[in-house]
């Protein structure tokens, strides 16, 4: 008999198929080696592919792979995988709560009555770094604000967070991905996430975000959960939450033809929650031999 594993492809941070960020969720991860997992992730060629396994300390264990490497935590794969295991009947939330084991620790998840999934990010750390703003601006193809200064934020993955002057400048950014990769490696980041706060205080989406991680095989991410968690921590550390509010919605992916919406809530320096909708687009089985 051929070796097959059950999978779902879930579009995350959208309720409309094809407008969010897809993640491939392999529901039978226990039967696979690390080498097989990485090979599958390289083949799906999505920003992340996840593998669900049993756990002794949580409702399930999750391993998360980009096309090139394994991640300790990532936001959109966590939200999409929770949606998949609930939909498949593998896990039943208790009072709207789940827990996920991953290399970053045991992660708490919350499932809203409407089915939206929210995840509390690993405890973030914000580190100011000495950045050549002119070089960073050239790498991103957009001017980077000097104040507040860019910073490294660790939420499992480490992101370099930088602000640009407005949403038009962010939309017009044409990054040099070779330079972005070199810059990321030098500062110890998985990639760079640039953002702009909209000047329209009545807008539903208070923040626009773009993220690039070419070193992980992700030239641009349509909707990045971990970088939005990192951004929430950055806004809290720099006083910018006064412009967005402690709970806000971020928009990402429009430059790629997507329309992802990420809900972010910053309860304190150690408490950032991100979440949103998810919808299954493909389900079936992957044959391994």
User: Among all chains, which residue has been given the structure tokens 């409407």?
Assistant: 114
The answer to whether residues 69 and 98 touch, using CB atoms and an 8 Å cutoff, is no
Q: Which residues contact 214 (CB under 8 A, 6 or more apart)?
A: 177, 178, 180, 181, 184, 191
And the tokens for 276?
A: 């949103």
Any idea what the Cα angle at residue 230 is, between residues 228 and 235, rounded to 5°? 90
Q: Please check whether residue 42 is in contact with residue 245, taking contact to mean a CB–CB distance below 8 angstroms.
A: no
Sign of the Cα torsion 227, 52, 46, 103 reads positive
Task: Give CA–CA dist 229/206, Å, rounded.
Answer: 15
Instruction: Enter the tokens of residue 265.
Output: 């809530």
- For residue 177, what are the contacts with CB-CB under 8 A and spacing of at least 6? 212, 214, 219
Question: What is the CA 35 to chain-centroid distance, rounded?
Answer: 23
Which is catalytic among the residues 35, 48, 70, 87?
48
- 54 alpha-carbon distance from chain centroid: 23
Q: What is the greatest pairwise CA distance in the chain?
A: 61
What is the distance between the alpha carbons of residues 89 and 270, in angstroms, rounded to a whole number? 32
Active site residue 101: no
Cα–Cα distance list, 285 to 25, 27, 175, 230, 288 (Å): 11, 10, 37, 34, 10
Q: Which residues are catalytic?
A: 48
């Amino acid at each position: 008999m051929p070796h097959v594993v059950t999978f779902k492809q879930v579009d995350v941070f959208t309720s409309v198929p094809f407008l969010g960020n897809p993640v491939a969720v392999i529901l039978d991860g226990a039967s696979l080696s690390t080498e097989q997992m990485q090979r599958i992730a390289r083949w799906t060629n999505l920003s992340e592919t996840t593998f669900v396994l049993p756990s002794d300390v949580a409702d399930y264990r999750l391993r998360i792979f980009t096309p090139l490497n394994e991640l300790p935590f990532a936001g959109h794969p966590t939200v999409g995988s929770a949606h998949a295991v609930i939909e498949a009947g593998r896990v039943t939330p208790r009072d709207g709560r789940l827990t996920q084991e991953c290399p970053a620790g045991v992660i708490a998840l919350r499932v809203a009555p409407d089915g939206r999934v929210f995840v509390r990010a690993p405890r973030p750390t914000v580190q100011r770094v000495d950045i050549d703003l002119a070089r960073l601006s050239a790498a991103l193809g957009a001017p980077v604000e000097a104040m507040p200064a860019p910073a490294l934020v660790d939420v499992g993955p480490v992101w370099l967070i930088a602000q640009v002057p407005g949403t038009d400048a962010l939309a017009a950014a044409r990054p040099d991905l070779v330079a972005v990769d070199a810059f990321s490696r030098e500062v110890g980041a998985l990639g760079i996430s640039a953002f702009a706060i909209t000047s329209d205080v009545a807008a539903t989406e208070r923040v626009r975000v773009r993220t690039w991680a070419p070193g992980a095989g992700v030239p641009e991410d349509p909707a990045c959960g971990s970088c939005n968690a990192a951004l929430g921590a950055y806004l809290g550390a720099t006083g910018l939450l006064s412009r967005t509010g402690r709970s806000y919605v971020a928009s990402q992916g429009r430059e790629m033809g997507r329309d992802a919406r990420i809900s972010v809530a910053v309860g304190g320096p150690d408490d950032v929650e991100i979440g949103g909708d998810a919808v299954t687009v493909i389900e079936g089985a992957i044959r391994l031999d």
